[in-house]
Homo-oligomer: A and B are copies of this chain.
Amino acid sequence: MKIISGGVCAASGFTAGSLRCGIKDSRPTDDTALIVSECECAAAAVYTMNRVKAAPIYITMEHLENGVARAIIANAGNANACAPDGIVNARRMAAAAAKRLGIDENDVVVASTGVIGQRLNIECIEQNLPTIELAADGSDKAAHAIMTTDTCAKSVAVEFTIGGKTCRLGGICKGSGMIHPNMGTMLCFITTDCAISDDLLADALQNVVRKTFNRISVDGDTSTNDTCVVLANGKAGNPLIDWQDENYDVFHRALTEVMTRLARMIAADGEGATKLITCTVAHARTEETAERLAKAVCASSLVKAAMFGADANWGRVLCAMGYSKAPFRPEYVTVAFESGAGTITVCDKGAGIDFDEELAKTILSESEVTIAIDVAEGDAAATAWGCDLTYDYVRINGDYRT
């Protein structure tokens, strides 16, 4: 498997594009993206577990009931959640895309991100969408058009071989705030030319989401709009994957690679973040225990603030583990901080040990830091990702709507 360029258009038969419809007066850049396959695709998606779901999620659920889709339309600047005319406008958005492409509106996935509670200006989308241009190198434009407080566009793609055929799988996503996914994160669109049944596509997606997007946290807030969609158009010509055989394993690895990289990009670009925090938990009794511990550490405001200050305050790491509700024995725990600048053990058997504070500061000042925990109880492990808590998070969210 190798990393390639092309993002959401890396797979054969997909094009994308974007334009500015004018959804928000204050946004000068493109706000609407369209991603299209030249033929029908097996499709699978996961959505937010938030009880308050945005209107486009209900429309997408309905359109994907048959496991088939051909296009994705997404906008930034308005979440179309708790908004007047939400369902009607989400339907009109799918219809506008279907009309532009000459396809059935039932084959269109709809996604929105932005402010909650305000009516989506669907008229400006209907007016402008006919002029959108689609291109095989349109991934980057689409990735930019779905950004909100993201500071960079997020995209990755891989190439792999199944049954002697070269397959490609790539995606784009956006994150930034309200990131504590309970499934996928904000918006993530993945395409592949690999031939795979919609059932197995859904299996793979659900399995991989659990270990990637569900393990990142920016601020503990789960959005109303989280959507992660995969379209597989089969253009690679490989034998159809419709069983959990070795070909499925290859596909699963490719999907894991792409989604892990996208999840890390979202964590690293959390609102106001200056660094990516990875927390690994080793030797837990079960993977669920390891996951709970790693996620609690990444989500702790106090750990996040300490990471911002490059403060080796490992007591907060143990404290967060303690309230995670996962079983472990504090007196067995080892904690180390790792980065490109080195590794330092700061807690052994649950108690403080003498360590070089200067070296710790240097290690924690890097832009990627790992909190490595060993609970010395079993064979399971898990990794979670997050970011630091900074002045800019407060600034960005103190007045988001203006």
Contacts and interface: CB of A to CB of B under 8 A. Distances in A.
B397 A394 contact: no
B82 A302 contact: no
A299 B328 CA distance: 26
Given A301-B301, A398-B308, A315 B116 contact: yes
Contact of A318 (B49, B52, B86): B52
Interface stretch (A131-139, A278-286, A385-393): A385-393
The interface residues of chain A, by DSSP majority, are classed as loop
A380 interface: no
Nearest to A304: B397
Nearest to A272: B394
A193 interface: no
B391 A82 contact: no
Contact of A223 (B50, B51, B52, B319): B319
A315 B220 contact: no
Contacts of A308: 394, 398
Nearest to A222: B323
Nearest to A50: B322
A390 to B, nearest CB: 6
A311 interface: yes
Interface string A163-193: 0000000000000011010100000000000
Interface in A307-328: 308-309, 311, 313-316, 318-324, 327-328
A117 interface: yes
Contacts of A321: 51-52
29 contacts: A49-B323, A50-B319, A50-B322, A51-B324, A51-B330, A52-B318, A52-B321, A82-B330, A83-B352, A115-B315, A116-B316, A116-B319, A117-B315, A178-B316, A220-B220, A220-B299, A220-B300, A222-B319, A222-B322, A223-B319, A224-B319, A305-B397, A305-B398, A306-B397, A306-B400, A308-B398, A309-B397, A309-B400, A389-B394
